[in-house]
């Protein structure tokens, strides 16, 4: 019998959607020349890769930069570099965002920041070839890519809504398309199915997009926008802890075809600072080019079901917001 998800989504797929992704790969990001003086950006995973370059970009434009990083030594090095180079205020909070305690501590600390959070960028990520489980009993990829942004954004909702303005940006990935038939809501932790790195990564990024719809709807009356973006094919340290075969493939194939993370930083600055995007919400960008989502990623019924499952999971783990 044909998988119900295939029956649901197959008629909705259009080749034009796929071809647009390939066309958009050729588009350079739009650039914003507006400065960010006196405003605050929060970036998770800002000690390396896309997050680091994005922190530098915002700092160069006068922003107050707030970083949430896992490695205290690397984070302090970046904090000093940005403060010394650009003469801006740079703050940091150290937390492992794959852990429920880390998510909640970071959310609580950010909620207590002085002044508004003008831009919140959920960037922290990783790529795993084998299934790993956190001490909370959660699949690591799912916890970091989906639960952390869900928990932190939820905890910041009163602050963001009270501001009357703000932008939330998920650093997603076109890899969400590998979850071609949607999420398995009965196996979000990959306990029953064969785990593959790319499929699990794609599922985590698809979950991000589905919760984007819900957050965007909830925040819309308060002037807060919620969007997601693909950062382009750029060189980062993602997957550095995987096995030798992946390391060889990354170095020999992926990195050779990848650009500089500066491209991603320019895109994230444009999405966070460009005046023309102040009201743009619930949108997926390939860098800065708007792109239609695949059928599973625009399924609002699935978004509602995932939201309910997520609240149930957090309640079961004793981590309700």
What average pLDDT score do residues 31-43 get? 97
- pLDDT score of 320: 61
Look at residue 11 and tell me if it is in a domain.
Answer: no
**Whether residue 29 has pLDDT greater than 90:** yes
Q: How does residue 255 score in pLDDT terms, banded at 50, 70 and 90?
A: very low
Look at residue 19 and tell me if it is in a domain.
Answer: no
201 is catalytic: yes
CB 50: neighbour CB atoms within 10 A? 27
Show contacts of 179-184: CB within 8 Å, 24+ apart.
179/203, 179/205, 179/206, 179/296, 180/9, 180/294, 180/296, 181/3, 181/5, 181/6, 181/9, 181/296, 182/5, 182/8, 182/9, 182/206, 182/296, 182/299, 182/302, 183/207, 183/210, 183/296, 183/302, 183/306
DSSP code per residue over 67-90: EEES-HHHHHHHHHHHHHHH---E
Cα–Cα nearest to 122, from 171, 68, 167: 171
Q: How does residue 235 score in pLDDT terms, banded at 50, 70 and 90?
A: low
What average pLDDT score do residues 129-144 get? 96
- pLDDT score of 138: 97
Look at residue 14 and tell me if it is in a domain.
Answer: no
Look at residue 224 and tell me if it is in a domain.
Answer: yes
**Whether residue 284 has pLDDT greater than 50:** yes
- pLDDT score of 17: 84
Look at residue 106 and tell me if it is in a domain.
Answer: yes
Look at residue 1 and tell me if it is in a domain.
Answer: no
Q: How far apart are the first and last CA of the chain?
A: 40
Q: Please give the Cα distance from 239 to 254 (Å, whole number).
A: 11
SS3 230: strand
- pLDDT score of 19: 87
Which residues share a beta bridge with 225?
Answer: 167
- pLDDT score of 243: 44
Catalytic residue chosen out of the listed positions 52, 176, 201, 269:
201
What average pLDDT score do residues 244-253 get? 43
- pLDDT score of 253: 42
The answer to whether 307 touches 214, Cβ cutoff 8 Å, is yes
Cα–Cα nearest to 35, from 60, 67, 52, 66: 60
Domain of 87?
A: 33-316
Q: Please give the Cα distance from 83 to 65 (Å, whole number).
A: 9
Cα–Cα nearest to 168, from 67, 247, 274, 281: 281
Rounded alpha-carbon distances, angstroms, from residue 20 to 24, 99, 277: 6, 36, 21
**Whether residue 234 has pLDDT greater than 90:** no
CATH number at residue 255: 3.40.50.720
**pLDDT tens sequence across 116-131:** 999 999 999 998 989 9
Higher pLDDT, 179 or 256: 179
Q: How does residue 237 score in pLDDT terms, banded at 50, 70 and 90?
A: low
Look at residue 23 and tell me if it is in a domain.
Answer: no
The answer to whether 110 touches 42, Cβ cutoff 8 Å, is yes
The overall average pLDDT reported for the chain is 91
Listed in order, strand segments (DSSP E) in 194-233 are: 224-230
What average pLDDT score do residues 59-78 get? 98
Name the pairing type of β-strands 40-44 and 166-171: unpaired
Listed in order, strand segments (DSSP E) in the chain are: 40-44, 64-69, 90-94, 119-122, 166-171, 224-230, 284-286, 289-291
Q: How does residue 246 score in pLDDT terms, banded at 50, 70 and 90?
A: very low
- Give how many domains the chain has, as a whole number: 1
Q: Please give the Cα distance from 124 to 65 (Å, whole number).
A: 15
- pLDDT score of 18: 83
**pLDDT tens sequence across 170-212:** 999 999 999 999 999 999 999 999 999 999 999 999 999 999 9
Look at residue 321 and tell me if it is in a domain.
Answer: no
What average pLDDT score do residues 95-103 get? 98
């Amino acid at each position: 019998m044909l998988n119900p998800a295939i029956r649901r989504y197959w008629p909705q797929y259009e080749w034009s959607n796929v071809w647009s992704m390939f066309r958009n790969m050729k588009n350079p990001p739009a650039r914003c020349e507006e400065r960010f003086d006196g405003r605050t950006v929060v970036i998770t995973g800002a000690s390396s890769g896309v997050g680091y370059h994005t922190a530098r970009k915002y700092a160069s434009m006068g922003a107050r930069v707030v970083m949430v990083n896992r490695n205290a030594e690397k984070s302090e090095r970046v904090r000093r570099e940005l403060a010394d180079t650009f003469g801006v205020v740079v703050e940091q909070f150290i937390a492992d965002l794959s852990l429920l305690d880390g998510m909640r501590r970071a959310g609580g600390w950010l909620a207590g920041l002085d002044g508004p959070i003008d831009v919140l960028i959920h960037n922290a990520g990783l790529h795993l070839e084998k299934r790993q489980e956190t001490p909370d009993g959660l699949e690591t990829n799912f916890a970091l890519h989906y639960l952390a942004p869900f928990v932190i954004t939820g905890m910041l909702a009163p602050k963001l809504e009270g501001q009357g303005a703000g932008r939330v940006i998920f650093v997603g990935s076109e890899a969400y398309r590998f979850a071609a038939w949607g999420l398995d809501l009965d196996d979000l932790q990959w306990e029953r199915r064969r785990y593959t790195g790319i499929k699990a990564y794609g599922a985590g990024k698809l979950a991000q997009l589905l919760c984007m719809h819900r957050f965007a709807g909830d925040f819309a009356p308060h002037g807060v926008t919620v969007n997601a973006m693909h950062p382009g094919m750029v060189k980062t340290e993602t997957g550095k802890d995987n096995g030798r075969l992946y390391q060889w493939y990354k170095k020999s194939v992926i990195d050779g075809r990848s650009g500089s993370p500066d491209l991603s930083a320019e895109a994230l600055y444009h999405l966070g600072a460009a005046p023309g995007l102040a009201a743009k919400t619930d949108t997926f960008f390939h860098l800065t080019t708007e792109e239609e989502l695949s059928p599973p990623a625009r399924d609002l019924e699935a978004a509602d079901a995932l939201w309910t499952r997520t609240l149930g999971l957090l309640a079961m783990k004793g981590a309700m917001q």
